[in-house]
């Protein structure tokens, strides 16, 4: 296998968000040689953008059983009880550890978000919690012995003849449009912490680099993938005519503080639709908004936060206020135009809370992984908490027990790739047929479009092509899973199958260019079989 460069490590971590950095730090604490690859600068993913905060049952009127109950209720029957219980139990100590590292977290005036029965959202800087978490983790990473390589994208797993992971093929990113300089990282364990695939849709809260790279890598290697049809659409993304790609998130903590979703006439959208009104779970609110938008023939709705007043908006929601004003909207005096947009992948690479996947030597943490915590719809502010917990658990496990070194490594077979010119059309097709409302006919059309794209004809491998291939792979997997699940549950809603069936996970496995699907019962989750 030809390569321009080679690295050797005990553990290679892909991704520099909360999950990836936590895994790297924990493994390095045990003296492991850790290499961390980051496609962009450290922290260029979703972590630093998180506005809401971290959920933890630390309030005087709260306890773990209530947090568990809220998580399970939001997950619509697909949460793994033991995974949820472990997350909830670890959350308070995770907050304490961040504070001991110097985080400026507000742990007394707790926030309220959709789906929570108590105020349990720990936040920082009003609506800048993710930025504070990233600040602390980045400082710890800089002071650690972890070997960091920015501007480097993982391309494929290296496996032995028995399908056990032993490293990665990766590419160093040069100037725009230039071919990647490929090389290999040999390691006894690989941790994928690459986030989701929000960029597969026209509008999203995800940064430009969140293109499903880890999911595609795991799929090509034959790892189990779970519940990919469940893509959470955040109800309130700042709307702008003709917008594409990442758009500013309007945190639902605004609704927790009293803001109200309204239509063009100023009437409340959620009135009478759910007992929690504007604070119903995200899947419920997003579906109600989409129904109202479709029925009225408009492009968006409005979030009226004017009753909160200038002082509260500027002090408690400075990020949202600044984003609105940058687009000529003053939330102090006028409603904010909003519409749902792709936000979070509830499914992903099948993994336990310690990151172990169905493939020996391969670990996955954070949004890239499907641990059983989120089920069919993520409870607000559980994701940042989960990323910190699963990242630390995976790194700690690898610090104590490393797999043996693999030999005779090779990457999976390659196809011709997908031309980057297709990326806008792919996003249009995904938003049209695999968005909030889906049906079998639309999903079949989507699959036909995905299967008919022309291959890439470029002579060298570019970043644009790699990302398009990843998005194409993620889209194929989501469409396949969504077509096969003929029911409506959580954030997967089929207009042609509106009822809910038995609670079963869907498991996909890519084999020789074919996607095989099976079902798995809800069970106590440990190391995947």
Q: Are 503 and 516 in contact (CB under 8 A)?
A: no
Catalytic residue among 120, 226, 282, 485: 282
Give the count of alpha carbons within 13 A of 444, CB side only: 4
Cα 480 to Cα 486: distance, rounded to the nearest angstrom: 11
Distances (CA, A) of 57 to 18, 121, 338: 20, 9, 30
287's tokens:
């579906």
Q: Where are the alpha helices (DSSP H) in 101-159?
A: 129-142
Cα 452 to Cα 176: distance, rounded to the nearest angstrom: 27
Cα 289 to Cα 269: distance, rounded to the nearest angstrom: 7
What are the helix and strand counts (H, E) for the chain? 13, 23
Cα 269 to Cα 142: distance, rounded to the nearest angstrom: 47
356 DSSP β-pair partners: 363
282: annotated active-site residue:
yes
Determine the length of the chain. Answer: 529
Q: What is the dihedral of CA 178, 182, 185, 189, to 10 degrees?
A: 80
524's tokens:
């106590």
Cα 314 to Cα 453: distance, rounded to the nearest angstrom: 47
For β-strands 362-364 and 181-192, DSSP reports them as parallel
Distances (CA, A) of 515 to 38, 453, 480, 528: 29, 18, 8, 19
Q: Are 505 and 80 in contact (CB under 8 A)?
A: no
> What value, to the nearest 5°, has the Cα angle with vertex 365 and ends 104 and 147?
75
Q: Where are the alpha helices (DSSP H) in 366-462?
A: 383-400, 423-433, 440-451
Catalytic residues, which ones?
A: 282
């Amino acid at each position: 296998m030809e390569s321009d460069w080679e690295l050797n490590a005990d553990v290679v971590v892909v991704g520099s968000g909360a999950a990836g950095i936590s895994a790297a730090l924990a493994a390095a604490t045990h003296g492991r040689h850790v290499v961390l690859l980051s496609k962009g600068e450290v922290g260029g993913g979703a972590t630093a953008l998180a506005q809401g905060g971290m959920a933890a049952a630390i309030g005087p009127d709260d306890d773990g059983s209530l947090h568990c109950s809220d998580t399970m209720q939001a997950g619509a029957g697909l949460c793994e009880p033991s995974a949820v219980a472990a997350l909830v139990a670890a959350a308070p100590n995770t907050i304490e550890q961040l504070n001991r590292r110097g985080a400026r977290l507000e742990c007394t005036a707790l926030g309220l978000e959709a789906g929570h029965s108590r105020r349990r959202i720990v936040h920082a800087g009003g609506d800048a919690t993710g930025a504070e978490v990233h600040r602390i983790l980045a400082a710890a990473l800089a002071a650690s012995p972890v070997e960091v390589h920015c501007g480097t994208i993982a391309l494929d797993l290296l496996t032995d003849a028995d399908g056990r992971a032993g490293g990665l093929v990766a590419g160093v990113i040069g100037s725009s449009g230039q071919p990647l300089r490929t090389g290999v990282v040999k390691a006894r364990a690989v941790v994928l912490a690459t986030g989701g695939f929000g960029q597969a849709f026209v509008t999203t809260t995800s940064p430009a680099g969140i293109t499903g790279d880890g999911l595609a890598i795991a799929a090509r290697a034959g790892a189990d993938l779970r519940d990919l049809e469940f893509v959470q659409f955040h109800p309130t993304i700042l709307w702008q005519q003709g917008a594409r790609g990442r758009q500013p998130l309007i945190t639902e903590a605004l609704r927790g503080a009293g803001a109200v979703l309204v239509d063009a006439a100023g009437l409340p959208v959620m009135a009478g639709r759910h007992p929690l009104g504007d604070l119903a779970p995200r899947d419920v609110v997003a579906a109600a908004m989409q129904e109202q938008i479709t029925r009225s023939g408009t492009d968006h709705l409005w979030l009226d936060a004017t009753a909160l007043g200038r002082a509260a908006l500027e002090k408690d929601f400075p990020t949202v206020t600044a984003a609105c004003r940058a687009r000529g909207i003053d939330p102090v005096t006028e409603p904010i135009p909003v519409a749902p947009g792709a936000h979070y992948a509830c499914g992903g690479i099948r993994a336990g809370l310690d990151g172990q996947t169905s493939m020996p030597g391969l670990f996955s943490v954070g949004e890239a992984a499907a641990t059983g915590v989120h089920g069919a719809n993520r409870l607000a502010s559980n994701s940042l908490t989960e990323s910190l917990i699963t990242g630390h658990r995976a790194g700690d496990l690898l610090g104590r027990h490393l797999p043996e070194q693999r030999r005779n490594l090779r990457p999976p077979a390659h196809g011709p790739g997908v031309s980057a010119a297709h990326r806008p059309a792919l996003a249009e097709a995904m938003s049209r047929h695999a968005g909030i409302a889906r049906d079998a006919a639309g999903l079949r059309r989507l699959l036909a479009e995905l299967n008919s794209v022309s291959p890439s004809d470029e002579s060298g491998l570019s970043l644009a092509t790699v990302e398009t291939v990843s998005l194409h792979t993620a889209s194929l997997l989501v469409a396949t899973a969504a077509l096969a699940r003929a029911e409506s549950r959580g954030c997967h809603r089929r207009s042609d199958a509106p009822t809910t069936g038995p609670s079963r996970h869907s498991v996909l496995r890519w084999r020789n260019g074919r996607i095989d699907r099976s079902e798995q019962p809800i069970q106590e989750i440990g190391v995947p079989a």
